[in-house]
């Protein structure tokens, strides 16, 4: 399976602008620029897209892990926060923090915790990152 995304950039780093598109069309010439990445301009940026991808991947992986443990969530809500830091050798994504609120009726807490850990390390986006990944999981009855 392969998925495609594309980017077009015009101009210099700080005064230029670009667009990001996805093969599915969900993003179609979506604006990004220096100000959307390093300030608070209108548009998206690669880190925001990575955060959404990590949240989505982790949440689906957790649903599978819960199913393997005999549990079904009524709702899983995950927010990912990506840290982009300036290091001596340039900018790097150094962390992805996942905050989870899980509604799992009748959940066994130990099995839930194991499922969360397995999803954290097993989702394909987690495997892609060479960054610290941490999860704060709250199980709601």
Contact 31, 43 (CB under 8 A): yes
List pLDDT tens digits, range 62-77.
Answer: 999 999 999 999 999 9
Average of pLDDT values for 28-56?
92
Cα angle for residues 82, 86, 89 (degrees, 5° grid):
125
Quote the CATH superfamily of domain 46-140. Answer: K homology (KH) domain (3.30.300.20)
Q: State percent of the chain over pLDDT 90.
A: 87
Q: How do the domains of the chain map onto residue ranges?
A: 5-38, 46-140
What is the side-by-side strand order in the sheet with 17-22?
5-10, 17-22, 30-33
pTM for the model: 0.90
Average of pLDDT values for 37-61?
93
């Amino acid at each position: 399976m392969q998925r495609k995304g594309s980017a077009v950039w015009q101009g210099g780093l700080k005064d230029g602008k670009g667009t990001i598109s996805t093969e599915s069309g969900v993003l179609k010439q979506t604006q990004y620029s220096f100000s959307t990445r390093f300030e608070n301009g209108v548009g998206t940026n690669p880190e925001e897209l990575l955060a959404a991808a990590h949240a989505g991947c982790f949440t689906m992986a957790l649903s599978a892990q819960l199913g393997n443990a005999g549990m079904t969530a009524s709702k899983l809500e995950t927010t990912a926060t990506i840290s982009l830091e300036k290091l001596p050798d340039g900018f790097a994504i150094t962390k992805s923090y996942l905050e989870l609120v899980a509604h799992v009726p009748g959940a066994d807490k130990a099995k839930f915790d194991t499922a969360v850990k397995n999803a954290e390390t097993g989702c394909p986006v987690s495997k892609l990152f060479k960054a610290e990944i941490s999860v704060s999981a709250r199980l709601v009855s």
